[in-house]
Amino acid sequence: MKKMRRECRVPGAEGLIIEDLPGEVLVYDSERDQAHCLNQTAALVWKYCDGKTTVSSMAQRLERDLNTTKVDERVVSYALEQLSKDHLLEESFVPGAMLGGLTRRQMVRTLGIAAVIAVPVVTSIIVPTAQAATSCSAPGQPCATSAACCSGLCSGGTCA
For the stretch 84-120, pLDDT in tens is 888 888 877 766 544 455 566 665 665 554 555 566 7
Same domain, 114 and 159: no
Can you say how many angstroms the Cα of residue 115 is from the centroid of all Cα atoms in its chain?
Answer: 19
Task: Provide the pLDDT for residue 64.
Answer: 92
Same domain, 100 and 145: no
Q: pLDDT grade, residue 6 (50/70/90)?
A: very low
Task: Provide the pLDDT for residue 1.
Answer: 42
Helix, strand, coil percentages (3-state) for the chain, rounded to 5, are 35, 20, 45
Same domain, 154 and 84: no
Q: How many domains does the chain have?
A: 2
Beta bridge partners of 84: none
Average pLDDT over residues 55-62: 91
Beta bridge partners of 158: 142, 155
Beta bridge partners of 61: none
Backbone angles phi, psi at 27, to 5 degrees: -130, 125
Q: What is the pLDDT of residues 24-53, one digit of tens each?
A: 999 988 888 889 999 998 999 999 988 888
Same domain, 22 and 97: yes
- Most confidently predicted of 24-38, 70-84, 142-156: 24-38
Angle at 57 between CA 54 and CA 63, to 5 degrees: 145
In a domain, residue 7? The reply is no
Same domain, 99 and 23: yes
Q: pLDDT: is 119 or 62 the higher one? A: 62
Domain limits for position 69 = 13-127
Please give the Cα distance from 115 to 90 (Å, whole number).
27
Same domain, 145 and 68: no
Task: Tell me which long-range contacts 47-50 makes (C-beta under 8 A, separation of at least 24).
Answer: 47/6, 49/1, 49/2, 49/3, 49/4, 49/6, 49/80, 49/83, 49/89, 50/3, 50/4, 50/7
In a domain, residue 3? The reply is no
